[in-house]
Amino acid sequence: MPLTSSDQLSFDPLSQAFAADPYPTYAALRERAHPYYYEDVDTWMLTKMADVENVALDKTMLRGNDDVLTAAERKAQQRKMNWHDMPHHERFVQFNLLESEGDVHDRLRKLVFREFTPGMILKQRGAIQAFVDKLLAELVGQNEIDFVEDFASHIPGHIIGRMLGVPDEDCPQLRVWSENVVRFFNVGCDDNDKRIAEQATEDFYLYLLDLLKLRETAPHDDLLSRMLAQKQDGLMTEDELIATSMLILMAGHGSTIDVLGSGMHSLLKFPDQRIKLRDDPSLIKTAVQEMFRYEAPLPYFHRFATQDCTVGGQYFTAGTRFGLLYGAANRDPARFDAPDTFDVTRSPNRHVAFGGGTHFCLGNHLARLDMDVIFTTLNERFTDVQLVDARPEYKSGLSVRGPKSLQIAWKEV
């Protein structure tokens, strides 16, 4: 395909400028007539809501491209992706619910799906509230905190760990493993990152094996015990159980911490919206939705075309890799009025922060409930919250979005 002059557009998702504010770049990409080819990762970037939704919902667009590769090509791809020498990573991270398709995906998703339905998740409200209250009791004497590290980072992992059946005292270790396992996906991942990621995956695996042994003799009312029963009934293999547990624990950590941080930052950047929410707590549901739309914590996922196709008015062959830029689609003026305005009353708010189609975020209701409880509690208890650093630094790269830290000053009512 010939390059046109518009392909000279500056797209550097690893830059500090992009980390600080990716939205002007997203707008420039969205205004192009056709998708943008990002050569560094051999991917066509989709930024218009219509294109992103169409690909996410298209059952011929898959997370993996194994179907269109020969065995030799698959081996070559593993080497290119640089996890050919990471056996635990290959076994438990490259294979899971998120990375599988068709019958395997549907079978695994169905086995855990009920646990994440709205009615089941609502049962966690009391536990979330109790943990948030306990954390606040420890922090309330401090006039200034890092909202991300001192507060937000403790909550999602504790709650998802509790649902799975991990003892409270082990939850901090799970966070370390989760962060180390995903170091493989870091921008500029080097051999040291790979070594740490592989070791963490193995340690995590061995820990879960020990926990499963305990559940074999003494089942609890938790997800791990229910999955173990499913394994014993022949519905899932042990590797699938481990991979599913790791995915749930990892997915339940980082992205919710990121959106808690960016959500608080948005409220502080738009004080009129924070006051509106404080004065009318019934707005919490639309406010949480807007936090997800405004700063999607996982702004990029990919799909492979398994058939020749037309996307964004352009013809592509099978095997093409597409990048679904949820963060860009969520600011598409074709879908949202005043898309760059943070509006806690926005409704309807049909964003794609949780993706779409069969890979729609399994934990979406839990993430929203975490946010609901946390921001409702903070609004009740703290009237005066200020940003200490007006320009908090955000994580770099295309795949994650959230402040590294968020120093705030606060006063209890």
Interacting residues toward another protein by CB under 8 A: 53, 56-57, 109-110, 113-114, 117-120, 122, 289, 347-351, 354-358, 360, 364-365
Q: CB-wise, 118 or 167, nearer to another protein?
A: 118
Q: CB-wise, 306 or 349, nearer to another protein?
A: 349
* Shortest Å distance, C-beta 324 to another protein: 12
Query: Is the alpha carbon torsion for 46, 50, 51, 52 positive or negative?
Result: positive
The count of other CB atoms within 10 Å of the CB of residue 223 is 21
* Shortest Å distance, C-beta 197 to another protein: 29
Q: CB-wise, 22 or 355, nearer to another protein?
A: 355
| Torsion of Cα atoms, 396 then 91 then 320 then 41, to 10° | 30
* Shortest Å distance, C-beta 118 to another protein: 5
Q: CB-wise, 184 or 336, nearer to another protein?
A: 336
Q: CB-wise, 180 or 289, nearer to another protein?
A: 289
* Shortest Å distance, C-beta 353 to another protein: 9
* Shortest Å distance, C-beta 357 to another protein: 5
Q: CB-wise, 269 or 276, nearer to another protein?
A: 276
* Shortest Å distance, C-beta 309 to another protein: 18
Q: CB-wise, 181 or 362, nearer to another protein?
A: 362
* Shortest Å distance, C-beta 400 to another protein: 21
Contact 327, 255 (CB under 8 A): no
Q: CB-wise, 50 or 76, nearer to another protein?
A: 50
* Shortest Å distance, C-beta 261 to another protein: 22
CB-based contacts of 340: which residues, under 8 Å, 6+ apart?
23, 331
Q: CB-wise, 14 or 57, nearer to another protein?
A: 57
* Shortest Å distance, C-beta 121 to another protein: 9
Choose among 55, 65, 69: nearest CA to 101. 65
Strands 61-62 and 300-305: antiparallel
